Structure 1
Amino acid sequence: MTGDASTIASILLPLNGVPSESEALAFGLTLARRFGARLEVLHVATDGRDVAPLAGEGLSGAMVEEMMTAAERESNSRTVSARSLLQRALDADQAAFGSALPVQTETTPPMPGAPGVMFRCVKGREHDVVAYAARLSDLIVVPHPDTVEEALSSAEALHAVLFDSGRPAIIAPKTAPASVGRRICVAWNGTAEGASAVFCVLGWLKQADSVHVLHSPEYQRRGPVASELVSYLALHGIAATSSEFTPKGGEVGAALLAAAEAQGADMLAMGAYSHSRLRQLLLGGVTRHVIAKATLPVLMAR
């Protein structure tokens, strides 16, 4: 997925109950219009049968049945809320653009180049459902977590995309941006994950007004350095510049975001989880900080 209009026909947006879903929907609808793509809004519903193995021993059949019924009821309520949230987003989008995006179903014939929206509800484990859907999507938009803790505890959709789909994810900002992909910063540290992010964003880079490579000795790992990336991009006709940022107190993530802001970037591309998720959980990390604190769209890849 290289991110230009010729390759983006299917955009996936999983809803997972975080407060910023309205902003993510607005962002996803804008991208659907920009690329003439279908936005699939995916809601993962709880299967009441999955509650039974968690009920534990010592509970009667009637108690387990009651727990399953309550879980189904709660799941149905969340599905209704998700549909309502999408409808409000569609109404706001229509008011902003002066025309309504067509709502499609799974049986709607493919309409290449025509933007549209589809709501899909699937029962199952969130990680599996999102990963499977993402594998046949060109672009995956993930709502922004509300806090650092939420970035760890409720980032199941993001982890499903990054670790099990073979696709990158774009974390939507909490506030809908005026533009996206016109002034792009690439966070570069020489890793395979960073190289994957560059490849995924090549199409965006070719269409951007400016491209800036951000690097730092504290961020760099074993691999090509920033100047080599600039030369590589030049082979693709991309005139990129580079600059070094300086973390204060070892806060690489904060310094990276500050450097992107200083460049006036409206998009950041970077590799995610160069270290394991367990190391990120125990020690923190650049990925964790950027996920929680970014105010601009961030494309992450592994």
Structure 2
Amino acid sequence: MRSQLFVPLLTYPDPTSTTFTEHAAALAKYLGADIVARVVDIDIKTPSAAFGGLFLDVPKMVAEAEDASRADGENLKAAIETEAGKAGVAVTTEVKRFHPEEACPMAAVEARYYDLSAIGWEPHHERAYELAESLVFDSGRPVVLLPDASNMDRLGHIAIAWDGSRAAARALADAAPLLAKASAISVIMAIGDKALPEENIAEHLVHHLKARGLEATSHVVDASADPTGGVIQRRALELGAGLLVMGGYGHSKLREFTLGGVTRDMLTDLRLPVLFSH
């Protein structure tokens, strides 16, 4: 059975970076997966009364925004098909149209049908944060965030942010296809930021990974003085890892979303590809 990598591509208000399409193709090649790409064009429909009161020619503005979205969508469709072809990866592309507020929630719903999702991470992209939040916490499937600075040649070395929690265990299980292909695995345990279930949880995990025939080592970092997410990422990069696996933590209440501390740290300053699972 072949695995499938779901790749949503946004066009509004700013398009997904074409650099991401290259990274997504490299990830699919590493996994031996097919790409299922969804280009999301916008369909604004009827502008709100408040919006219409601010501008004289609202229909023209709507048409221009939709035209720009279509053009960016065509460019992204061509880019993902080109990069998949270069990588020797099978790709299926489809263009779908949604109202801007529906795009991210609908991407999360569709992601439930695939093994893994990949999205581009640009901290100043208006919709990137919303898309990441929707897929990580609403799709029920693992998500890889790929910043433009990703070094895809290092995917064979995987770091695991391990605190022994339920979320971390879920991420570990979801990362199994990647771990099975890894040439090296670094288990990173942060101390000083919160209580841990036991002192030697990193070594405990390494023992279990080695029992499965995987090459793994443990590493401890001190996060008592600096944000945990930054400390873990820095150590992962020092070790030469190309992908970090971690559990995403957050909760929603009354339609307001609150991220856990380490998850928030990561999204604020993402320096390498990260597989989030919730």
Shorter-chain TM band: 0.7 to 0.9
22-31 or 117-126: which moved more?
Answer: 117-126
239-248 or 29-38: which moved more?
Answer: 29-38
1:85 has 2:76 as partner? yes
Deviation at 1:241, TM superposition (A): 1.3
Q: Is the 8 A contact 1:189 1:220 kept in 2?
A: no
Deviation at 1:300, TM superposition (A): 0.7
User: What is the CA–CA distance in structure 1 between the aligned matches of 2:187 and 2:161, rounded to whole Å?
Assistant: 6
263-272 or 72-81: which moved more?
Answer: 72-81
Instruction: Identify the residue that residue 253 of structure 1 maps to in structure 2.
Output: 229
1:161 has 2:135 as partner? yes
1:37 has 2:33 as partner? yes
TM-score (norm 1): 0.76
Percentage identity across paired residues of the two chains: 22
Structure 2 unaligned segments of length 5 or more: list them: none
Task: Summarize the Cα distance change of 1:51–1:229 in structure 2 as closer, same or farther, 3 Å threshold.
Answer: farther
User: What is the CA–CA distance in structure 2 between the aligned matches of 1:126 and 1:134, rounded to whole Å?
Assistant: 12
204-213 or 72-81: which moved more?
Answer: 72-81
Task: Summarize the Cα distance change of 1:237–1:143 in structure 2 as closer, same or farther, 3 Å threshold.
Answer: same
Deviation at 1:15, TM superposition (A): 2.3
Task: Summarize the Cα distance change of 1:264–1:34 in structure 2 as closer, same or farther, 3 Å threshold.
Answer: closer
Task: Summarize the Cα distance change of 1:49–1:204 in structure 2 as closer, same or farther, 3 Å threshold.
Answer: same
Instruction: Identify the residue that residue 104 of structure 1 maps to in structure 2.
Output: none
User: What is the CA–CA distance in structure 2 between the aligned matches of 1:242 and 1:213, rounded to whole Å?
Assistant: 5
Q: Deviations over 1:229-279 (max 9, x none)?
A: 223323432232111012363321211111101111011111112576744
Aligned residues: 270
User: What is the CA–CA distance in structure 1 between the aligned matches of 2:185 and 2:237, rounded to whole Å?
Assistant: 13
Q: Is the 8 A contact 2:111 2:117 kept in 1?
A: yes
Which residue identity does 1:241 align to in structure 2? T
Which residue identity does 1:15 align to in structure 2? L
21-30 or 69-78: which moved more?
Answer: 69-78
Instruction: Identify the residue that residue 120 of structure 1 maps to in structure 2.
Output: 95
Q: Is the 8 A contact 1:218 1:252 kept in 2?
A: no
Which residue identity does 1:213 align to in structure 2? V
Q: Equivalent residue of 2:147, what SS?
A: coil
Q: Is the 8 A contact 1:40 1:120 kept in 2?
A: no
Q: Equivalent residue of 1:237, what SS?
A: coil
Task: Summarize the Cα distance change of 1:7–1:213 in structure 2 as closer, same or farther, 3 Å threshold.
Answer: farther
Task: Summarize the Cα distance change of 1:215–1:58 in structure 2 as closer, same or farther, 3 Å threshold.
Answer: closer
Instruction: Identify the residue that residue 9 of structure 2 maps to in structure 1.
Output: 14
Deviation at 1:67, TM superposition (A): 3.7
Structure showing the higher strand proportion among its residues: 2
Q: Which one of 97, 105, 120 corresponds to residue 143 of structure 1?
A: 120
Deviation at 1:29, TM superposition (A): 1.9
CA root-mean-square deviation: 3.2
